[in-house]
Amino acid sequence: MKTIKNFIEYCGESVGALVRPVKNQTGLEVADFWQELENVSNSPCGAAGGFCGFVYYSDTCAFWRKNRKVITNCMQELAEDLGENLLGLVCGFNGLKDYEQDEIGRALYGNYNEDLTHIYNIFAWFALEEVANRYSDWVYENDL
């Protein structure tokens, strides 16, 4: 059965902790949220394709600031799964290739800085894409 609770359980701890914040950020009802996640996972641009609540820097930066800990935990788990360190993983994200490692590190570990809004935007998009990709896996594996 397709419920937020079942989806969170499927996702596990780190991605599961992102599901409700991402859903709340979109402002969509559950049925529309499922469709939005499908659209994100099918988009050749990923989150950069422009999706509810994840278009404007004002929205994505606020999302990062509010959910920094759970996003960072998810990134850390992914880095560990891939045998990388967190900063090394994040430096390889699309959209961050033109940034110096110290700038990305300041965005990841330091206080909020308006000069780093593009980096925070990418971090918010990471959260959306992780939830969308996990949704795609959940639907496929459970024939939903």
The reply to whether 144 falls in a domain is no
The reply to whether 109 falls in a domain is yes
Mean pLDDT of the chain: 95
pLDDT score of 42: 95
Segment 106-135, tens digit of pLDDT: 999 999 999 999 999 999 999 999 999 999
What percentage of residues in the chain have a pLDDT greater than 70?
100
pLDDT score of 144: 80
The span from the CA of 17 to the CA of 100, in Å, is 29
pLDDT score of 143: 84
Mean pLDDT for the stretch of residues 55-75: 97
pLDDT-based confidence at residue 1 (cuts at 50, 70, 90): confident
The reply to whether 2 falls in a domain is no
pLDDT score of 82: 95
The span from the CA of 29 to the CA of 60, in Å, is 20
Question: Is 69 in contact with 123 (CB distance < 8 Å)?
Answer: no
pLDDT score of 64: 97
Beta strands in the chain (DSSP E): none
The reply to whether 52 falls in a domain is yes
What is the domain extent for residue 61? Answer: 14-139
Segment 16-35, tens digit of pLDDT: 999 999 999 999 999 999 99
The span from the CA of 42 to the CA of 107, in Å, is 28
Whole-model pTM: value is 0.95
The reply to whether 88 falls in a domain is yes
State how many domains the chain has: 1
pLDDT at 140 over 90: yes
The span from the CA of 125 to the CA of 120, in Å, is 9
pLDDT at 96 over 90: yes
The reply to whether 9 falls in a domain is no
